[in-house]
Chain A
Amino acid sequence: QGAQIAFGSLDHDASLPVEVTAESLSVDQGDGTAVFSGDVVVGQGTLRLSAARVLVVYGSGGASSGKISRLEASGSVVLVLGEDAAQAQGAVYSIDTATIVMTGDVLLTQGDNAVEGQRLTVDLNRGTGAMEGRVRTVLTPASDKP
């Protein structure tokens, strides 16, 4: 079963420039594959996606088209959007469709509430997140707060 969650703010602009910082970027001269590695941070507007390794996947026109279809992040991935955060083993950020799919022991935290599952699909334009796969929600009642 899935849980629909409001995730992040509604004013995410998918046409903003995407900035990727990392320790290194290596490009295979044979087929042009580009991989960022070493505390990689993908930023766009208020979105921050950090991971150990990010693979650049180009659109249908291939590398020469210069259009990036998606960024595949792996290795302790953390997504921060506004004051919501989610962590998982892997994430795929499709820039054109402005969606992020996080997979593998996903833990989403909003304030004191936490939701666990296997797969989180975030729609940046609509500001929603759908968690699927053995979803467990942990709500901390207001009175227990220290």
Chain B
Amino acid sequence: MRSYDNAYSRFIAAAKIVFPLAALGLLSTLFMISRDHGSAGNGDGLPYAKVEIDDLLRQQRLGAPNYAGVTRDGTAISMRADSARSDPDRPGRGEAQAMQARLTLPDGSSAEIQANTGSIDTSDRVAVLEGDAKISTSTGYTIETDRLRSAFADTNVEADGPVTANGPPGRIEAGSMTLSADPSDKGRYLLVFKDGVRLIYEPEQ
């Protein structure tokens, strides 16, 4: 190695050896010392606490399930719930908590449905929503009933028990209610209150 008379050249000659070695060392740390996961790091990176995982496993529960589909006549249905579990003794049936559904109909109208519990029967393609079931339609009607069924195959929401509703014409009580296509005119969708309807309209003078 040639010797130099001044410090600067000596420094440069030394640097030519030391710097590449340092670079090599730095590069090697990239592979040899891998980041260790979890043990030293914080534990809350996992979305589920351990107890909930066991719960989910034991009950075969789904967390926040949702369903989206389109009926034969073109209504988009999306359904979600806080949790759902399959019915052990009846295959194809599931129970869900805090069920919500939204229907967007081809005529541009829409309906939101919610209920405390819901059960979905994929074999006869119907969702049954129970417990303070509420429907609010884009035409300004909010309907309350105990139980209602919403089909997946075609647009058909039906409450066979008594319903109470509030809407543009006023307060409505009826024996039952359906939201479905008008049989005589496929493009039209009708919200029909049946089995005896009573409306109270308050004319504000």
* Interchain CB contact under 8 A, A64 and B168: yes
Nearest CB on B from A71, distance (A): 9
* Interchain CB contact under 8 A, B193 and A29: no
- CA of A6 to CA of B172, assembled, Å: 35
Decide yes or no: A29 and B189 within 8 Å by CB, A24-B194, A68-B169 being known contacts: yes
Interface residues of A in 4-61 (CB under 8 A from B): 14-30, 32, 34, 36, 56, 58
**Segment from B21-29, B59-67, B136-144 that makes contact with A:** B136-144
State whether the Cβ of B203 lies closer than 8 Å to any Cβ in chain A. yes
Nearest CB on B from A55, distance (A): 11
- CA of A30 to CA of B109, assembled, Å: 6
State whether the Cβ of A95 lies closer than 8 Å to any Cβ in chain B. yes
* Interchain CB contact under 8 A, B169 and A15: no
* Interchain CB contact under 8 A, A27 and B188: no
* Interchain CB contact under 8 A, A14 and B191: no
Please name the residue on chain B nearest to A13 by beta carbon. Answer: B205
* Interchain CB contact under 8 A, A34 and B169: yes
* Interchain CB contact under 8 A, A30 and B108: yes
* Interchain CB contact under 8 A, A17 and B138: no
Interface residues of A in 44-87 (CB under 8 A from B): 56, 58, 63-68
Decide yes or no: A25 and B139 within 8 Å by CB, A14-B203, A17-B202, A30-B188 being known contacts: no
Give the interface size bracket for B toward A: 35 or more
Interface residues of B in 148-205 (CB under 8 A from A): 167-170, 172, 174, 179, 182, 188-205
Scoring A residues 110 to 127 as 1 if CB is less than 8 Å from chain B, else 0, what string do you get? Answer: 000000000000000000
Nearest CB on A from B154, distance (A): 15
* Interchain CB contact under 8 A, A28 and B190: yes
* Interchain CB contact under 8 A, A24 and B192: yes
Decide yes or no: A19 and B109 within 8 Å by CB, A29-B138, A56-B169 being known contacts: no
- CA of A76 to CA of B188, assembled, Å: 27
- CA of A17 to CA of B107, assembled, Å: 33
Chain B residues with CB below 8 A from A66, complex form: 140, 168-170
Please name the residue on chain A nearest to B173 by beta carbon. Answer: A21
Scoring A residues 95 to 114 as 1 if CB is less than 8 Å from chain B, else 0, what string do you get? Answer: 11000000000000000000
* Interchain CB contact under 8 A, B205 and A15: yes
* Interchain CB contact under 8 A, A32 and B197: no
A residues touching B (Cβ–Cβ < 8 Å)? Answer: 14-30, 32, 34, 36, 56, 58, 63-68, 95-96
- A-B CB contact pairs (8 Å), 13 listed: A16-B203, A20-B169, A20-B198, A21-B198, A24-B197, A25-B172, A25-B174, A27-B141, A29-B105, A29-B138, A32-B139, A65-B168, A68-B203
